[in-house]
Chain A
Amino acid sequence: EPEVTQTPSHQVTQMGQEVILRCVPISNHLYFYWYRQILGQKVEFLVSFYNNEISEKSEIFDDQFSVERPDGSNFTLKIRSTKLEDSAMYFCASRMTGGANEQFFGPGTRLTVL
């Protein structure tokens, strides 16, 4: 069964460094998402991406965040200058076309900022 994959599973970085989190969505999906979950809290929407552009973003998704689909398979989240409060689990999700189709989530990347 096709699935969303994410790499790395765990990333440790120093405050102020740039990180890139990578996702490979399911191949025939067209909508892509990033979510964040701070330890012990609920999952929060960050950004949605369709047709090579951001379709919606939350207040959390400020100028230090960016997303890209550099080729036909990868979908990346870049954090330009990490802060301690960026430590969280980051989930990628994808879905097919249509307004209410199910989103499929990847296993997550745990980001630790020291």
Chain B
Amino acid sequence: GIQVEQSPPDLILQEGANSTLRCNFSDSVNNLQWFHQNPWGQLINLFYIPSGTKQNGRLSATTVATERYSLLYISSSQTTDSGVYFCAVVKRGSGGYQKVTFGTGTKLQVIP
């Protein structure tokens, strides 16, 4: 099956700093999602981004599907950004079905 690796696995930031999280995948995909898992375990949709760049406030994401990677940028980080960030790739199968494979995650801790 498709492999999805994220880096770095762990990241500690001072509040206000910027960071870039990376997601590499081993095969072509139809789409890609970024999630933030908060300390309560909830998965929050951040971006649904097959290619190109999207921005939402202090967060932005870029996917280069031809080179099989995606980047998540966090600017001016806040303590509420702490948690685990997952990318998940979407592979379409026959009959409209799709399979989602999650990455290994990046655990982010933002300290005041």
Interface residues of A (CB under 8 A from B): 31, 33, 35, 37, 42-45, 48, 50, 55-56, 89, 91, 93, 95, 97-105, 107-108, 110
Contact = CB atoms under 8 A, between A and B. Distances in A.
Given A99-B98, A100-B30, A100-B31, A43 B104 contact: no
Interface residues of B, number: 26
A55 B41 contact: no
A102 B43 contact: no
B99 A91 contact: no
Nearest to B32: A100
A110 B41 contact: yes
Interface in B1-48: 30-31, 33, 35, 41-43, 45, 48
B103 A103 contact: no
Nearest to A93: B100
A99 B50 CA distance: 13
B102 A42 contact: yes
A42 B103 contact: yes
B88 interface: yes
A102 B48 contact: yes
A76 to B, nearest CB: 20
A59 B42 CA distance: 24
B95 interface: yes
Interface string B68-112: 000000000000000000101010110111111111110000000
A40 B97 CA distance: 28
A42 B105 contact: yes
Given A56-B97, A107-B41, A107-B43, 9 more contacts: A31-B97, A31-B98, A42-B104, A44-B102, A97-B96, A102-B45, A103-B90, A104-B45, A105-B43
